[in-house]
Amino acid sequence: MRDNRRPRLPRLSIRSLPGLLAALLLPLGLLTPAAAAASPPDATAAADPVRIMPLGDSITGSPGCWRALLWNRLQGAGHTGIDFVGTLPPQGCGTAHDGDNEGHGGELVTNVASQGLLPARLAATRPDIVVMHFGTNDVWSNIAPDRILAAYDTLLAQMRQSNPDMRVLVAQLIPMNPATCAACGRRVVDLNARIPAWAAGASTDRSPVVVVDQWTGFDTATDTYDGVHPGASGDEKIAARWFPALAAQLENTPGDPGDPGDPGDPGDPGDPTLTCTASFRSVSVWQGGYQAEVTVRNTSAAPVRGWTVTLRPADGARVTQVWNGALKPAADGTATVADAGWNGALAPGASTAFGLIAATTAGPAAPAATADCAATPAS
């Protein structure tokens, strides 16, 4: 606590008067050149940290141990000029980290929007980036995706009113399979399928909205302790999915090493051949459609700056939606999926994934597809 007591002033002697006069004359620029040259320059103020708000419900806040993992992963990658912010304090986890957050257990995003709860929280914390996993309680309450996305609209408008340059990472929710809600699993799929199109329509160059797929590859049987809230392995997966998208926002500054045109850029002409692979995996199937995941891996000896996957679904299936990638369907059913920008750069051996939904008229046969990958050089 700061000591506010006024310090006792020393008694001045005649010999101290020259120094006192020099101190009084300093703001007026009246010191001799020699004295001015002897004065040390003012220290340059450190740049303000990037303020990041984790926003959501108990999956984010209680205790939200993925935040601790994400914080330390960012620190280890050199992103030290950051500040996690929120009106809630750290809530355990036993790992040193910046635990401030805005994850309120039990909250519905529709209530936060309708009751106007977010603006005061924004004013108190002034974030530059919002990392949002929000809507699980709404899904559990059987609130329609239209209402949830309308609440997203309200929150996004409030974020931009707080900061016109707000950057938002919005999650496709982790799966749900609580014992008391048999329909929740399907409701999450329905909401998640709508989020990419919502984000594409809401995103602007000044205030981008980036979708992060937290659903694909997450298993409620092994990654949660109750069918809803993540356990240790779930926290690891959530942090791993947030990290590349958040790091890309933090690295989005001119002159970063590896920018196109930099000397030695791995995408420049003359670099080693760049190759990648794509592997298709079915995630869930329902009457008339399925969800799948495609993992893209850099098999080159050098980093790649981007990738494009050509997907040919079996049995006449058609890819209708993609997240974490940019879809270009063809008349013959072939789907071309390019990276989403933030997930295009891959180190040797590194991988990323995108999710998709396909429509099909086939029977109960397991979904299948061939997938080819091409590495994209920097322009």
Cα–Cα distance measured from residue 299 to residue 375, given in angstroms and rounded to the nearest whole number = 10
Cα–Cα distance measured from residue 141 to residue 160, given in angstroms and rounded to the nearest whole number = 28
Are the CB atoms for 321 and 327 separated by under 8 Å? yes
10-residue mean pLDDT profile of the chain (379 residues): values are: 39 40 38 39 60 97 94 92 95 88 97 98 97 98 97 98 97 95 95 92 92 91 95 94 91 42 36 78 87 87 87 91 89 90 81 90 77 76
What pLDDT was estimated at residue 351? 85
What pLDDT was estimated at residue 267? 36
Could you tell me the sign of the dihedral formed by the alpha carbons of 82, 84, 89, 92, in that order? Answer: negative
Helix-, strand-, coil-residue percentages of the chain, each rounded to 5: 30, 25, 45
What pLDDT was estimated at residue 71? 95
Cα–Cα distance measured from residue 233 to residue 218, given in angstroms and rounded to the nearest whole number = 9
pTM of the model: 0.61
CA distances from 304 to 275, 278, 377 (A): 8, 14, 7
Cα–Cα distance measured from residue 232 to residue 358, given in angstroms and rounded to the nearest whole number = 32
Token digits of residue 89: 């304090």
Q: In sequence order, what are the residues at sequence separation of 6 or more whose Cβ sits closer than 8 angstroms to the Cβ of residue 356? A: 291, 292, 293, 294, 311, 319, 321, 322, 323, 327, 335, 337
Token digits of residue 97: 């980290």
What pLDDT was estimated at residue 263? 33
Are the CB atoms for 325 and 339 separated by under 8 Å? yes
